[in-house]
Structure 1
Amino acid sequence: MIVRLVQRIGILLASLVVSSVLVFAFMAVLPGDPARVALGVSASDTAVAQLREQFGLDRPLVVQYFSWVKGLVTFDPGNSYISQTAIGPQIADRLQVTLWLVGAGMALACILAIPMGTLMAVRHRKPSGLILSALSQVGVAVPAFLAGILLVTVFAVGLGWLPANGWTPPAQDPVMFLKQLVLPALSLGLVQGAMLTRYVRSAVLDVLREDYLRTARAKGLRPTRALLRHGLRNAAVPVVTVLALHLATLLVGAVVIERVFVIPGLGSLLLDSVSNRDLIMVQDVVMIIAMAVLLVNFLVDIIYLVIDPRLRAGAS
C-alpha cells in the first residue's frame, strides 16, 4: 500500500507540473500586452515599459514561469495587472465561497443519488423503479443554469420563500447564509444527483447479478440485508470514480451558477478577470481549479485503497 501511495503522489506532482506548464504557455501565447491593457491605449511607450518591468514581463519566459510557480507555492502570487492589488487574498476569499457552494451541491447530489439509485436498481422491473428512472432522465436533460432559473422563478419570485441572489458570509449571518445557499446548491445538486443516480443504479445492478450475492441470499439473508452487507461496498468502487468526475464538473458548473445567483465565488472572479483581460488573475484562478481537480483525483485513488481490499493486496 505504501508503494501505491508513493506512486500516486508522484503522479500527482507530475500532473501539477504539466498543468502549470500548459496553463502558463497558453496564457503566454495570447495576443496583447498586459501592461498596455492595464494603462490603456493612450499610454506612452515609456510608461508601458516601466509597468512591464514592474510586473516582470520583460524577463525571459522561463524566468517568468519559475517566478509564477514560486508565488503559487509560497501563497504569494503577486498583484493584479489591472487593479494592482494582491491576488492571494482575493482568491482565498472567493475560494471559500465556491467551496461552500460545491460542497453543498455535492452533498445534496450524494444524498439524492445513493438511495434513489439503489432503489431504482432493486426495483428496476417494477413501476416505481421505472418512474424513478424516467425522473432521473429528465434531471439529466436539464442544465444547471436552467434549473437555477426555474428554482428562482418558483421559490423566490413566485412563493417568496428564499432570496433570489446574493451572498452573506456564514459568520456574519448564519440564517441568511443558509437561505442564500439553498437555491444555488439545489441547482447544482439536483442536476448532478440525477446524473449520479444513473451510475449508482448501474453499479448496484451489476452487484445484484454477482454469484456471491446469490450465495448470501441462499444462506438465508434477506435481499436487502445481503445487499447492504455484501453488495454496496463493491458497488461503491465505480461510483467513487464517477463522484470524482462529477466534483470536477461541479467546479466548472459553479462558474455559471455563481453568475445566475450573483455569488462572489471563484467562477465570478474568473469571468470578471477575463472581461478585464487581467491575465495573471486568469492564470492563477485556472491553475487553482486545475489543482483542485487533480487533488480530488488523488484522494479518489486513496479511497480506492481503503474500500477495495484487492487493490491493497495488489499494492503489497
Structure 2
Amino acid sequence: MLFRLLTRTGVFAGSVAAASVVVFAFMAVLPGDPARVALGVNATPRAVAELRREFGTDRPLAVQYADWARGLFVGDFGVSYVTRTPIGPQVLDRLLVTLWLVGAAMVVAVLVAVPVGTVMAVHHRRLRGLALSALSQLGIAVPAFLSGVLAVAIFSVRLGWLPAGGWTPPAQDPGQFARQLVLPAGALGLAQAAILARYVRTAVLDVLREDYLRTARAKGLTLGRALVRHGLRNAAVPVSTVLGLQLATLLVGAIVVERVFVIPGLGSLLLDGVANRDLLLVQGVVMVLVVAVLVVNYVVDVLYTALDPRLRRAA
C-alpha cells in the first residue's frame, strides 16, 4: 500500500512538472506580443522594448519558464499584463467560487445518480427501469449550458422562484448565496448525473449477478438490504473512478455555466484573460485547472486502492 502510494505520488509530481512545460510552451508559441498589445498599434519600438523588459518577455524562454515555475510553488503567478495587478490573489478568489459551484454540482450528481442508477439496475427489465434509462439518455444529450438557459427561463423568468444569476459570498448572505447556487449547480450536476447513473446501473447489475449477493438473499435478506450491506461497496469501486473523471469534467464544464449565470469564477477569469490577450493570466488559470484535474485523479487512484482489497494486497 505504501509503495503504491509513493509511486502514485511520484507520477503525480512528474505529471505536474510535464504539464507546466506544456502549458508554458503552448502560450509561448501563440502569436502576438503582450507588450505591443498593451501599448497599441501606434506604440514606438522603444516603448515596446521597455515594456518587454518590464514584463520580462525579452529574456530567453528557458529563463522565463524557470522564473514562472519557481513562482508557482510559492503561489506567485506574476503580474497581469493588462491590469498590472498580481495574478495569484485573483486566481485564488475565483477558484474558491468555482469550487463552491463544482462541489454543489457534484453533490447533486451523486444524490441523483446513485438512487436512479440503482433503480435502473434492479428494474432493468421493467417499465420503471426502461423509462429512467431513456431519461438518462436524454440528459446526456442535453448540454449543461442549455439546461441552464432553460432553467433560467422557467424558474427565474416565468415562475420567479430563483434569481437568474449573480453571486453573493456565503459569509455575506448565506440565504442569497444558496438561492443563487441552486440553478447553476442543478444545471451542471444533472448533466453529470445522467452520465453517472449509467455507470451506477452497470456496476449494480454486475453486483446483482455475484454469488455472494445470492447467498445473502438465501439467508433471508431482502434485495435492498443485501445491496446496502454487501453490494454497494463493491459497486462503488468502478464508480469511484468515473466519479473522479466527472469531477475533472465539472471543473472544465463550469467555465460555460459560470458565463451563463454571471458567476465570477475561474472560468469567467479565463475567458476575460483570453479576450484581453492577457497571456500570463491565461497561463496561470490553465495551470491551476490542469493541477486541479491531476489532484482529482491522484485522489481517486488512492481511493480506488483503499476500496479494493485486491489492490492493497498487490501493493
The 1-side partners of 2:252 and 2:14 are apart by: 23
Q: Equivalent residue for 2:142?
A: 142
* Structure 1: 4+ residue segments shifted above 6 A: none
Q: Could you say which residue in structure 2 is the equivalent of 1:219?
A: 219
Q: Which residue of 2 aligns with 1:271?
A: 271
Q: Secondary structure, in 3 states, of the residue corresponding to 1:83?
A: coil
* Match of residue 190 from structure 1: 190
Shifted more, 92-101 versus 301-310: the winner is 301-310
Aligned to 1:121: 121
Determine the C-alpha separation between the residues in 2 that align with 1:186 and 1:141: 16
**Matched letter for residue 61 of structure 2:** L
Residue 84 of structure 2: aligned partner: 84
Pairing 1:23-102 to 2, within 5 Å after superposition: 23-102=23-102
CA distance in 2, matches of 1:172, 1:223: 47
Alignment partner, residue 167 of structure 1: 167
Output the CA distance in 2 between the equivalents of 1:157 and 1:221: 49
Name the CA distance, whole Å, in 2 between partners of 1:241 and 1:304. 7
Tell me what 2:110 maps to: 110
- 1:133 to 2:133 alignment: yes
Please give the alpha-carbon distance, in whole angstroms, between the structure 2 residues aligned to 1:3 and 1:96. Answer: 33
Which structure 2 residue ranges, 5 or more long, are not aligned? none
- Determine what percentage of the aligned residue pairs are the same residue: 68
Distance in structure 2 (CA, Å) of the matches to 1:206 and 1:34: 55
> How many residue pairs are counted as aligned between the two chains?
315
Q: Deviations over 1:256-290 (max 9, x none)?
A: 00110111100000001001110000000000000
Deviation string, structure 1 residues 98-136 (Cα, Å, up to 9, x no partner):
000000000100000011101110111111111111111
Matched residue type, 1:240: S
1:215 & 1:48 partners in 2: Cα distance? 77
Unmatched 5+ residue regions in structure 1?
none
Superposed CA deviations along residues 228-282 of structure 1, whole A, max 9, x for unmatched, are: 1111111111101111111111111100001101111000000010011100000
| Deviations 1:162-204, CA, capped at 9 Å, x for gaps | 1101111111111111111110001101111111101100111
Counterpart residue identity of residue 163, structure 1: P
2:298 paired residue number: 298
Note the alpha carbon deviations across 1:67-108, whole angstroms, 9 max, x for none.
Answer: 111111111111001111110111111111100000000010
The 2-side partners of 1:254 and 1:227 are apart by 34
Measure the CA separation in 2 of the matches of 1:63 and 1:159. Answer: 57
Deviates more, 1:247-256 or 1:206-215: 206-215
**Which amino acid counterpart does residue 131 of structure 2 have in structure 1?**
I
CA distance in 1: counterparts of 2:307 and 2:238, whole angstroms: 11
- Give the Å deviation of 1:212: 2.0
Rounded Cα–Cα distance in structure 2 between residues aligned with 1:80 and 1:261: 25
2:311 maps to what in 1? 311
Aligned mates of 1:4, 1:289 — CA distance in 2: 25
Q: Shift in Å at residue 47 of structure 1?
A: 1.2
Q: Tell me the distance in 1 between the aligned counterparts of 2:73 and 2:55.
A: 18
Check if 1:11 corresponds to 2:11: yes
| SS of residue in 1 equivalent to 2:100 | helix
Once residues 57 and 249 of structure 2 are traced to their aligned partners in structure 1, the CA distance between those partners, rounded to angstroms, is: 34
- Provide the aligned C-alpha RMSD in A: 0.9
